[in-house]
Structure 1
Amino acid sequence: MPSQEIGMPIPNIPHAVSVTLPTWEATVGYEEGEDWVVSKMNSGYPRFFIHSVIQSLSKKIETKYGRDGERCMIFPSYKVAKRCRQFIKEKSEKSLVVRVLQLSTPAPANEEERSTVIEATIGVVFFPADVFPLAKNYWQHSGEGISSRMGEYISRALFESESRSISPSPRPSIRAANSNLKQELQVQSIQRKSPSISASIRSPSFTVSEEEIKEHDTFIEQKFGRVLDLKFAKEAKIALRRRICGKVDKSHNQKEEMEKARRGKNLSETDVYLFPSGMASIFYAHHVLLNVSKKPKKSVCFGFPYVDTLNILKKFGPGVHFLGLGDDKSLDTLESELESGELDIMALFCECPSNPLLKTPNLKRIRKLADKFNFAVVVDETVGNFLNIHVLPFADMVCSSLTKVFSGDSNVMAGSLVLNPASPMYHALKEYFNREYEDLFWAQDALWLERNSRDFAERSAKIDRTSWLTVQLLQKSPLISKVYYPKISESKQYYDEIKTATGGYGGLISFLFKEPHQAVAFFNAVNLHKGPSLGTNFTLACPYAILAHYQELDEIAKWDVDRNLIRISIGLEDPDELLDVLQKSLDIAAAEPKTD
């Protein structure tokens, strides 16, 4: 059954993406930094919680290369580290000495080593310990930090072999990695083979019998291929780019829907770029625009977005015009101010649909305004996903978090950015990417993501079907005052204009109770995983406003985001079982007495 233990990774594997916050009170306690919660947080969402492997690596590097009073932060390239250094210096109120060190691991010595050894370079930023929060801000907002798998590899390559004096040119031991891999594959295979409430969500103390291991060995081979082989990382990335742009490798038995969801006849996988996180793709889109614009200007954030999208636009470059309601009246205001010359913008960023209110912007009208007033359009399609919606014709760049439903398994961070070949800005953008883009997506993460995403189409379709059943259940409940979902939204017409022929309305649902105390009772009672993230193969719930905006609850109310909003991301469980779990929790909430 789902773990209700604070701080447990979801799922219970070394590189999990989510973490358990099982009650409303625990979520508040986490946001307020209360020890009874924070002391138990041994894991967390990777952009907010630096993985223990990376923390350990940082301490080793500080010990060997740091100066007195310094701390460090590790990035996957020297260029990214320099961006972090610039951010720290710009945002600090005092003059600082911030150093950048580049470290590299050995390349494979022979053909045999290519399966387990890869040459890797990191950029390490050293700074005074008291400005660590600034460095952490960059890590969180940019999404450009190293992954836990990369940290694990770098640590072994630079320190473990060295400490054991194995050879003058240290080679990483892979025993620990293979052990972690075996555990992850076992959990993953059980989750996908038996996606019920009880079987797809494992407890923190789960055990796998020898019989289960033998039973799933064949499944693992058929579903995932052999264990990770680093020499195939390049091929894995090519497969991912093709999958994202709709040119599917039929040898992987993709569903017909996947083949139909082509991004466009002229789109090539060479216009698809991979990133270490979805936020990194949004950050880089903004970074590119700042650098290709003759004169960088403010951007518009259209609609209430995920928190760090707005932070990127606020903290990097000239600033942001925030049109948080993201409705037709907001577009009227934008058009009027552009026409009068009161507003001159570099770009418009939006989510399609938005997280957590599931609003869909009028992309056709936005595109017309962009062409008329010469600004870029960047669309984050994560919540909709490209099997359900086709936004590329209306955007110059399309970003997505592949961490979510594209992967599903909650065990790898990744992002993508797609350039629209029909964009009037395409040549300028492409030239910049050709000159400056770095592939920072770690090889092992690419191999995991390629395997995870092979059944993306099948999973997406099932999630869409179960989500609509869930919405109908919530709509019928007398306790619920409002349900947010693209199919029943006031902006449904704009979603339908971009919906693919075989697409659905996604797996994300938000809802409000008429009585706040019933929201708390429901959330505390519901027997599901509870924590950050979305798009996982298991249903995942959170009190969204509390988790993402606790310090600004009054402010977000201006944009119709209620402090008691609950968000659920639907998974692959049996629909009847999931609906039963939700109904039982609604019954508990109904019986909860109101207290002063």
Structure 2
Amino acid sequence: MSPSQEIGATIPNDTAHAVSVTLPTWEATVGYEEGEEWVVSKMKSGYPRFFIHGIIQELSKNIETKYGREGEKAMIFPSYKVAKRCRDFIKRYSQSGNNVRILQLSTPPPMNEDERSFIIESNIGVCFFHEEEWPIAKQYWQHSGEGISSRMGEYLLRELFQKEKTTRKLATLKQELQVQRIQRKSPSLSKSFSSTQEEVDNEYFAFIEQKFGRVLDLKFALEAKRALRRRICGKADKSRNQIEELEKSKRGKSLSETDVYLLPSGMNAIFTAHQALLQLFPNRESVCFGFPYVDTLNILKKWGPGVLFLGFGDDKSLDELEEKLQSNSISIAGLFCECPSNPLLKTPNLKRIRSLADKYDFVVVVDETVGNFLNIHVLPYADMVVSSLTKVFSGDSNVMAGSLILNPKSSKYTQLKHYFTTEFEDIFWAEDALYLERNSRDFTERSIKIDQTTLETVELFTKSPLISKVYYPTLSASKSYYDNIKTANGGYGGLFSILFHDPNDAICFFNTIQLHKGPSLGTNFTLACPYAILAHYQELDEIAQWGVDRNLIRISVGLEDKDVLLETLQLGLDKAAAQHT
């Protein structure tokens, strides 16, 4: 199926729980950021931390109608503890947030073995606040990444407000199926009933499968989570080539699946890591090293005593940090960095960062989403490794998830492990785990193909006279730092960014290419966006000082036939070039 060019259409096409959304032109992206009706009114979907899914909106309205007070809005979270954090955030940033309250709701557990296939007990926290506080609550939803997923919303809507109707329908269906089988297949009523009961049950559960879109029975959710932790553990804990010496020099136990934590989004993994540091080192600031994805910096700014932002993420930045540490002008709890960074694809000097962390006693948190743990091995240099499993690990762009790994060889491991043992709450929804486990089974094969295609795609743009710069680990001044952590069989990832000499060429190229266009990355299909416009529209002048141009285009390469993809991109370049003839 060809990529939709319809504003607001889901990406992938016709996907109920899609992660991305179509913004097919540069003008539509600007219109979305400016809230123009011709764009906003057509949005059927959106990135889940920014756009609250229609199913969740319907659930919220039902809860507001049944439990809300006049002028109140509701925001739904997967537990009371999460709702409490949202309440605290609203109170902190609102002038009149003292009236925020929390309602706890539950759905019943399965009553028998059969029901375990499609019934699961859930406990949620609903944060009620005055409608004036909605923008603040929405900030919490976006930054923390721990709102309920659309699949959880779908389940809650059915269990809390539609169950009686659904139960009657299913009971009637089962009776009808029994009668039909009995009448059609056997002259003997008693014999027929005993011989067709299994068929009736099979058809009944087939209806459940089709109606509610189950990938697997819900009773396998715990096994799916265990499989995911083991899969991540196996990929993330391999000693190879350049880093083998460092691995040998470290003492302690190897990584275990119990050191891998699953979360509802990659941003929630970062949020969770930061929450841990706030508890362990409450009076220390954080360092954001390198220009990060927007919400990472928001988390470090809005929670805790402050953040030192070293936006260039280069050796001079490390010099500046070391000076401050030597002079005792700063005491930091942790340093957060991306490896490589999004969207400039810079790789930090993790070896030097690790040395500084050991000397000055702070925690290193590395987000390896863009590189992914098949291509790079960052665990020896980090105390915590976070990742968005929404991206290439899943690939299908139909489920949100994140992971956090504790390094068992870290000097901070005992403190961190105690915190997670006592404080960590599993809020990763069961159905999402089932989808993610299925999606990620061929993660390795997909990653290899994407890496190979991307190398040739990058070459296409480096040869074009229209392009002023291509951002990719192989072309960066920090390439040696990437190569130091690159695995033996790893590549350089599927993400790159391009900058045209002429901004009009960038617009023409973007509007011409017949590809999926919208937020996210790491998808099984190539996905493009005018990154600065989409992620930083309100601060374009500010981000320019960190080397992020307002006309930057980011491209995430997928699994399409390489020649077809190159032809598609070349057509876009040709159309842009034709403007000058």
Q: Is the 8 A contact 1:543 1:566 kept in 2?
A: yes
1:122 Cα deviation from its structure 2 partner:
0.7
Q: In structure 1, what is the Cα distance between the partners aligned to 2:104 and 2:97?
A: 23
Find the partner of 1:280 among 230, 248, 268. Answer: 268
Give the match for residue 188 of structure 1: none
1:453-507 deviations in Å (ceiling 9; x for gaps) = 0000000000000000001000000000000000111000000000011100000
Q: Is the 8 A contact 1:28 1:546 kept in 2?
A: yes
Task: Compare 226-235 and 470-479 and name the one that shifted more.
Answer: 226-235
Q: Does 1:238 align with 2:226?
A: yes
Q: Is the 8 A contact 2:215 2:434 kept in 1?
A: no
Q: Is the 8 A contact 1:14 1:180 kept in 2?
A: no
Q: In structure 2, what is the Cα distance between the partners aligned to 1:14 and 1:106?
A: 25
Find the partner of 1:132 among 131, 134, 141. Answer: 134
Q: In structure 1, what is the Cα distance between the partners aligned to 2:42 and 2:210?
A: 25
1:164 Cα deviation from its structure 2 partner:
6.3
Change (3 A) 1:113 1:23: same
Normalised TM-score (structure 1): 0.87
Change (3 A) 1:386 1:181: farther
1:174 Cα deviation from its structure 2 partner:
8.7
Q: In structure 1, what is the Cα distance between the partners aligned to 2:98 and 2:116?
A: 41
Q: Is the 8 A contact 1:116 1:174 kept in 2?
A: no
Which consecutive unaligned segments of at least 5 residues does structure 1 have? 168-172, 183-225, 249-255
Find the partner of 2:352 among 365, 370, 383. Answer: 365
Give the match for residue 255 of structure 2: 267
Find the partner of 2:72 among 70, 94, 116. Answer: 70
Q: In structure 2, what is the Cα distance between the partners aligned to 1:449 and 1:530?
A: 23
Give the match for residue 209 of structure 1: none
Give the match for residue 429 of structure 1: 416
Q: In structure 2, what is the Cα distance between the partners aligned to 1:491 and 1:285?
A: 26
1:161 Cα deviation from its structure 2 partner:
1.4
Q: Does 1:449 align with 2:436?
A: yes
Give the match for residue 298 of structure 2: 311
Which consecutive unaligned segments of at least 5 residues does structure 2 have? 170-203
Give the match for residue 523 of structure 1: 510
Give the match for residue 29 of structure 2: 27
Change (3 A) 1:175 1:99: farther
1:175 Cα deviation from its structure 2 partner:
8.7
Q: Is the 8 A contact 2:97 2:133 kept in 1?
A: no
Q: Is the 8 A contact 1:353 1:381 kept in 2?
A: yes
Q: What does 1:137-536 align with in structure 2 at a 5 Å threshold?
A: 137-162=139-164, 166=168, 178-179=209-210, 227-246=215-234, 266-293=254-281, 295-536=282-523
AA in 1 matched with 2:23: L
1:288 Cα deviation from its structure 2 partner:
0.6
1:112 Cα deviation from its structure 2 partner:
1.1
Q: Is the 8 A contact 1:85 1:98 kept in 2?
A: yes
AA in 2 matched with 1:342: S
Alpha-carbon RMSD: 2.0
Q: Secondary structure at the match of 2:17?
A: coil
Give the match for residue 53 of structure 2: 51
Q: In structure 1, what is the Cα distance between the partners aligned to 2:537 and 2:165?
A: 44
Q: Secondary structure at the match of 1:114?
A: helix
Q: Is the 8 A contact 1:484 1:510 kept in 2?
A: yes
Q: In structure 2, what is the Cα distance between the partners aligned to 1:593 and 1:274?
A: 51
1:96 Cα deviation from its structure 2 partner:
2.4
AA in 2 matched with 1:491: S
Q: Is the 8 A contact 1:400 1:416 kept in 2?
A: yes
Q: Is the 8 A contact 1:328 1:362 kept in 2?
A: yes
Q: In structure 2, what is the Cα distance between the partners aligned to 1:2 and 1:272?
A: 35
Find the partner of 1:541 among 519, 525, 528. Answer: 528
Q: Is the 8 A contact 2:235 2:374 kept in 1?
A: no
Q: In structure 2, what is the Cα distance between the partners aligned to 1:161 and 1:146?
A: 19
Give the match for residue 205 of structure 1: none
1:292 Cα deviation from its structure 2 partner:
1.3
Q: Is the 8 A contact 1:510 1:565 kept in 2?
A: yes
Change (3 A) 1:161 1:446: same
1:6-46 deviations in Å (ceiling 9; x for gaps) = 00000121000000000000000000000000000111000
AA in 1 matched with 2:260: V
Normalised TM-score (structure 2): 0.89
Q: Secondary structure at the match of 1:560?
A: coil
Give the match for residue 540 of structure 2: 553
1:296 Cα deviation from its structure 2 partner:
2.5
Give the match for residue 216 of structure 1: none
Find the partner of 1:117 among 116, 119, 139. Answer: 119
Q: Secondary structure at the match of 1:495?
A: helix
Q: In structure 2, what is the Cα distance between the partners aligned to 1:133 and 1:110?
A: 43
Give the match for residue 186 of structure 2: none
Q: In structure 1, what is the Cα distance between the partners aligned to 2:161 and 2:283?
A: 43
Q: In structure 1, what is the Cα distance between the partners aligned to 2:159 and 2:205?
A: 10
Q: In structure 2, what is the Cα distance between the partners aligned to 1:175 and 1:312?
A: 44
Q: In structure 2, what is the Cα distance between the partners aligned to 1:483 and 1:166?
A: 59
Change (3 A) 1:421 1:66: same
Q: In structure 1, what is the Cα distance between the partners aligned to 2:455 and 2:364?
A: 30
1:118 Cα deviation from its structure 2 partner:
0.4
AA in 2 matched with 1:390: H
AA in 2 matched with 1:477: S
Q: In structure 1, what is the Cα distance between the partners aligned to 2:113 and 2:32?
A: 48
Q: Secondary structure at the match of 2:416?
A: helix
Q: Secondary structure at the match of 2:49?
A: coil
Calculate percent identity across the aligned residue pairs: 72
AA in 1 matched with 2:299: I
Give the match for residue 3 of structure 2: 2
1:94 Cα deviation from its structure 2 partner:
2.8
Q: Secondary structure at the match of 1:104?
A: strand
Q: In structure 2, what is the Cα distance between the partners aligned to 1:33 and 1:270?
A: 44
1:298 Cα deviation from its structure 2 partner:
1.2
Q: In structure 1, what is the Cα distance between the partners aligned to 2:260 and 2:390?
A: 16
AA in 2 matched with 1:87: F
Q: In structure 2, what is the Cα distance between the partners aligned to 1:563 and 1:442?
A: 37
Q: Is the 8 A contact 2:235 2:373 kept in 1?
A: no
How many corresponding residue pairs? 534
Give the match for residue 562 of structure 1: 549
1:70 Cα deviation from its structure 2 partner:
0.4
Q: Secondary structure at the match of 2:128?
A: strand
Q: In structure 2, what is the Cα distance between the partners aligned to 1:78 and 1:541?
A: 38
Q: Secondary structure at the match of 1:448?
A: helix
1:418 Cα deviation from its structure 2 partner:
0.1
1:178 Cα deviation from its structure 2 partner:
3.6
Q: Is the 8 A contact 2:97 2:129 kept in 1?
A: no
Q: In structure 2, what is the Cα distance between the partners aligned to 1:99 and 1:178?
A: 37
1:50-108 deviations in Å (ceiling 9; x for gaps) = 00000000000001111111000000000000000000000112352011111110100
1:181 Cα deviation from its structure 2 partner:
6.3
Give the match for residue 195 of structure 1: none
Give the match for residue 185 of structure 1: none
Q: In structure 2, what is the Cα distance between the partners aligned to 1:231 and 1:303?
A: 43
Q: In structure 2, what is the Cα distance between the partners aligned to 1:165 and 1:240?
A: 33
1:277 Cα deviation from its structure 2 partner:
0.3
Q: In structure 1, what is the Cα distance between the partners aligned to 2:166 and 2:498?
A: 55
Q: Which has the larger radius of gyration?
A: 2
Give the match for residue 197 of structure 1: none
Q: In structure 1, what is the Cα distance between the partners aligned to 2:336 and 2:500?
A: 31
Change (3 A) 1:174 1:535: farther
